[in-house]
Structure 1
């Protein structure tokens, strides 16, 4: 079988590498419909002139429509069409990209056509501008430029600093398209309608997450393994060939195949709403920024995040609440920056610095400015906002650099943890929970009840200024009890951090577990936040459901034997990164990682063939079992048990307690 890469080379066409940091293969500059053009015509000279659509619109009425303006890789007459709904900020979409690359190698352009659809998720703040810019790159540079742009974006997800407000321009320029043209188009929202169309189509097809695939109409959700894609594609190839044999023209195969391949989503009856939570939770007001008088009978405490799109969405509703109830309502702000919003903490620091310089009014002014443009939260953007607000920018720069207000932000986060305010926006109305960007009616349902109750308290003699404090006297916390487990430290185990640290975190992990991979940056953050005070000790707990985990653990331990802790953690990272690759944890891949780390290949092969390190792994498994630990990742922080890929703030609290000597 000749792959599309081989075909492109044979035709003498230019291949542009888009490997980035992830080592993904080059993508042909042109699909089959463009391969007869000379290279000079394929190359993007200025990246400012729109290009004509590569196909026609005869498939727009298919069960899973394909439009002439869609980014496409493959022949218009291909027997199988894979339509991907994807988000350029989604790590799972980035992981699936390598699988799609493998499909490009496995099937010819006559067999498989790949069509991209934009499906930016609302909780990914950069996804929408990246999608709109992607439409612009397609318009100006064609499908080859778009797929180079796509790879630039996905490669950035794995780099420190990842995505910024300037990323669309940079990725477009990397794809050979004018950055100025992209900036102009984004400013005018020139390509927004195309993204909206893709979102609408996806919603009608039942897409509710990314990545989502339709193979000749057959739905396949998530970053599935390569074998699953091949299974569906091979079935659809056979079905398409049968259609052609029956007389269906190749150009009509896709429309015909989707008629029977696509199953419309079931329209489920909406679930009945759960009964209202009448619990009053203990949420201290403290010295937090507030709007409204202390004599307000209803206090709304909001846990929020300046980079969260849902928090922005609820702001007009909160304005309407204050307009409707006037001085009867007080709104109190609490910071709850989520770990996947990299600019939420700096934004919160800026808002607090505004308050420190010029009071509550300045805080709320900055609050509005930050929500006005959530895509411009890099340091330059924050300093520009500070200048607009007439703040002392020197003090702002120092506050951002020194994280001056971080302790207060973390105190808010701890208060939120105590009442399980794990998502944003999260509200407590006189202590009663309301989650999410709810409509005005939902706020009024609780406010009206609590207002009547507060008025009764006042009539009974409680001063208006003391209503909230009185309610809080009997309020509840949801702080989970501290669970302690005993597992002895292993002096031979791999570790990072300070050897004589006061706090030891035992990490029971599985190299094939995606949650174990996900928590590693959090542990890096813990080590960075507590230099010299924390030691993270790795313990192996390969789960039975992960067939490749045990051999991967043996490989990592051999890396430690040959290269020490540094070698172990280099191998660990390579193996974790391999989770997203087909066969990324198989023996051939492990051998490749060993070469990358610089291990002696003969000794490495002997260790794996002879299972030299299996006994050490079995000891770790026995220690975990004796302590009642059966899942991964699991942690013991000086004996305090944490289960799962917990956010940084959970680790921080337990580490701080251990350092202070608290139980």
Structure 2
């Protein structure tokens, strides 16, 4: 997937989305909403007043069956945002006691391979009266959802393992999951976590205050029903009896036209197909990217179908969070030097889990390459510059993610099916035939048709002003700070040292520091995500370095070495920075920073920073590893408010 797409997803994470979650609630006709629905407590987004008919159907529940508020959750045990929301649910149960009942329904998402087995494991535990115990086990151990781990969890809970295994094979449990998933889709809750509070939809791992606002509102309505004579046990049924059974169809957003770019084709880049082909496809790819591997059979089909009419050119875009991608790219170029690029290309994509140096050398031997020459090329780094040049060229034309294709300059993003390529290829062949009939030489065809495509591309539609969350009060507190104390703009970053997107924004923050000297200060707060096993330890290490006056030096070390955040590596970095190693180790051993890290994380959640990185620029939210210009726009607006000057006018 493209990183810019991923950043958009991260925006969704924090503003109501998430890895698997859908932003916002189901759409309804505007005329059905009371005017009062537009209002919401300060700092909170309004919740759609529509009540949905969400049956309970004997789903696992806990809490008072006569509670006046029932919260039905659709969840996925492999979804990290569901895990985070589970902590919120636990706190709500603690705070509301007998006023709140929680009901769980299953929605294992298709791209979480272990989510459905985990759901079956929980339901099977429920057959022995231990659903909720397994529920908590699964969320506490999201990295351990393989079959052996699930069985160990069952043993830990004292289940009858033979019975538990037999229950998982029972078609009844499969049917429950299918029914829950169908209901979620019907209600417009296609992602996770999704909540229906007395039938009203609240999407995602939102701050606890958003839950409480809706629960309090619904509790007041339920109390009125009880005062009117409705028995407490009948309140939920009464509330949803006239509820909407299906979400109204959502209007499909107009898709922006794909980019059209002038795309150069370096003579040394690997390719197949004639150089005078009517259509040239330039691909930016990453040998460790699973989506790129899915495109391989499609490209083979293109080669077979359009042998004389299509040329495919391969360029490198190893993504920073794929640790073996750069070396694999260099290995493919070393094979290209010996005339075997495409054979190595296929080897690498067929073995994406084994791209270490030893494996690469093994593939070279299997392809009968001159292995000594191959090793020498890798040892010398002779193809590093080529790989980096490809990557830079890809970024320059918007191919920041993989795979990205340009068909005669027309962008096609992702591992799309053959028919998506065929439609564009056929259109381009028709254009090429006209140019050739008009006298264009075959060797000039690509340059001419690419230029015409760029010239004829529709201008992008002007973007509407994006909705922006309300400005919030964000305290710096005891966070590490860099920049002038009296700077008119303060950026508070909530970040995670193991998050690749957080790593990408480090150069942007350095650029801000350089261009806004004295005008901007940056405060760092920790938001270690539950799916990043080393993030909390790294956060503690950074604060231990801060205690010795070296936070930002450790900050840079950690982001430069995101694949090595184990305890031994953290101690090594402390030595490299000249810290007092004993004091550093003692700080980590004592857990003295655990409370500060938890406080940072809780504050981030309260403010809506449920994903990383999230920035508050004078209290204004900016989500994700966005480019410098996105920061610049907000910073310049804030400087104008303060009567300051903007970047470039110092």
TM class, shorter-length: 0.5 to 0.7
Alignment partner, residue 294 of structure 1: 275
Q: Corresponding residue for 1:266? A: 248
Preserved contact between residue 71 and residue 101 of structure 2 (Cα < 8 Å)? yes
TM-score (ref. length: structure 2): 0.54
- CA shift at 1:219, angstroms? 0.6
**2:466 corresponds to:** none
Contact 1:293/1:330 (<8 A) preserved: yes
Higher mean C-alpha deviation, range 245-254 or range 297-306: 245-254
**Cα separation, partners in 2 of 1:233 and 1:397, compared to 1, 3 Å:** farther
Aligned residues of 1:132 and 1:192 also touching (Cα < 8 A): no
- The offset of 1:287, in angstroms, is 4.0
Aligned residues: 471
In angstroms, what is the RMSD of aligned CA positions?
6.0
Mean Cα deviation higher: 167-176 or 218-227: 167-176
Q: Distance in 1 between matches of 2:418 and 2:354?
A: 32
Show the 5 A alignment for 1:129-140. 129-140=114-125
Cα displacement (A) at 1:522: 0.5
Q: CA deviation at 1:429?
A: 0.6
Distance (whole Å) between structure 2 residues aligned to residue 188 and residue 329 of structure 1: 50
Counterpart of 1:453? Answer: 431
Match of 2:137 among 148, 154, 161: 148
1:433 aligned residue: 411
Q: Distance in 1 between the 2:196 and 2:281 partners?
A: 45
Distance 1:149-1:516 versus aligned 2 partners, 3 A rule: closer
Matched, 1:565 2:550: yes
Q: C-alpha offsets along residues 489-520 of structure 1, whole Å, 9 cap, x if unaligned?
A: xxxx9669xxxxxxxxx9x8633667999788
Aligned residue for 2:146, secondary structure, equals: helix
The answer to whether structure 1 residue 413 and structure 2 residue 391 are counterparts is yes
**Maintained 8 Å contact 1:560/1:566:** yes
Distance 1:465 1:189 in 2: 65
- The 8 Å contact of residues 71 and 146 in structure 1, kept in 2 or not, is answered as no
Change over 3 Å in CA distance of 1:195–1:420 after alignment to 2: farther
Contiguous gaps of at least 5 residues in structure 1: 1-61, 154-162, 371-375, 479-492, 497-505, 528-535, 544-557, 587-620, 646-663
> Residues of 2 paired with 1:385 and 1:73: CA distance?
57
Contact 2:270–2:314 at 8 Å: present in 1 too?
Answer: yes
CA distance in 1: counterparts of 2:328 and 2:270, whole angstroms: 15
1: CA distance, partners of 2:75 / 2:327: 29
Distance 2:435 2:336 in 1: 33
Q: Is 1:360 equivalent to 2:341 in the alignment?
A: yes
Contact 1:357 1:391 in 2 (8 A): no
Higher relative contact order (CA 8 A, sep 6+): 2
In structure 2, the residue matched to 1:30 is none
Change (3 A) 1:142 1:94: closer
1:31 matched residue in structure 2: none
The whole-number CA distance in structure 2 between the counterparts of 1:401 and 1:258 is: 68
1:581 to 585, 595, 602: 602
Q: Which moved more, 1:225-234 or 1:442-451?
A: 442-451
Q: Residues 620-660 of structure 1, C-alpha deviation per residue, up to 9 Å, x if partnerless?
A: x9xx99xxx99869999xxx966459xxxxxxxxxxxxxxx
Deviation of 1:574 after TM superposition, in Å, equals 7.4
Query: Does the CA-based 8 Å contact 2:78-2:114 persist in structure 1?
Result: no
- 1:175-232 deviations in whole A, cap 9, x for unaligned? 3459x99xx99x9999988766554433322235443222122111233221221122
The alpha-carbon deviation at position 106 of structure 1 amounts to 1.3
What is the CA deviation profile of residues 586-634 of structure 1, one whole-angstrom value per residue up to 9, with x for unaligned ones? 9xxxxxxxxxxxxxxxxxxxxxxxxxxxxxxxxxx9xx99xxx998699
Would the aligned equivalents of 1:633 and 1:643 in 2 still touch at CA under 8 Å? no
Mapped contact 1:149–1:174 kept (Cα < 8 A): no
Question: In the alignment, what sits opposite 2:315?
Answer: 334
Uncovered stretches (5+) of structure 2, i.e. residues with no partner: 1-51, 458-479, 509-516, 525-542, 556-586, 608-615, 633-650
Q: Distance in 2 between matches of 1:100 and 1:118?
A: 17
Contact 1:334 1:412 in 2 (8 A): yes
Cα pair 1:288 1:334 within 8 Å, conserved: yes
Matches within 5 A, 1:416-495: 416-438=394-416, 440-459=418-437, 464=442, 466-469=444-447, 471=449
Q: Which residue of 2 aligns with 1:325?
A: 306
Q: How many Å separate the matches in 2 of 1:345 and 1:189?
A: 47
TM-score with structure 1 setting the length: 0.54
Deviations 1:515-550 (A, max 9, x none): 9997884069879xxxxxxxx99952589xxxxxxx
